[in-house]
Structure 1
Amino acid sequence: MSEDPKARVLSVVERIPDWIRNDLSSKDRGVRKRAEETLAGMIASALNGDNSS
């Protein structure tokens, strides 16, 4: 895939589920960490060229 990394990340950000968006702003550290790890995984997958999501 020849798409640049910024475009790949933007594509992921545009598809972030509402639960992740909400949990990223949570005051609960555990909830926030789960959302951060999920988002990081989504971004890493996109940067590695995984088109399954």
Structure 2
Amino acid sequence: MITIMIISVVIIAVVIALSVFTVNKGYAFKHTIDPLENNPHLPKDDESKK
């Protein structure tokens, strides 16, 4: 019974450690955005720039 409890605690600790690791790695990721002049999703409106 004790061995099952120890194995369960080890598995829970590993899952929590991996969760903390992935969340920290996700927050550390540098997100970038495209400048407006290079955005392919915006319509080209050359006449309004003149």
After TM superposition, the score normalised by the length of structure 2 is 0.43
After TM superposition, the score normalised by the length of structure 1 is 0.41
Q: Which has the higher contact order (CA 8 A, sep 6+)?
A: 1
Larger Rg: 2
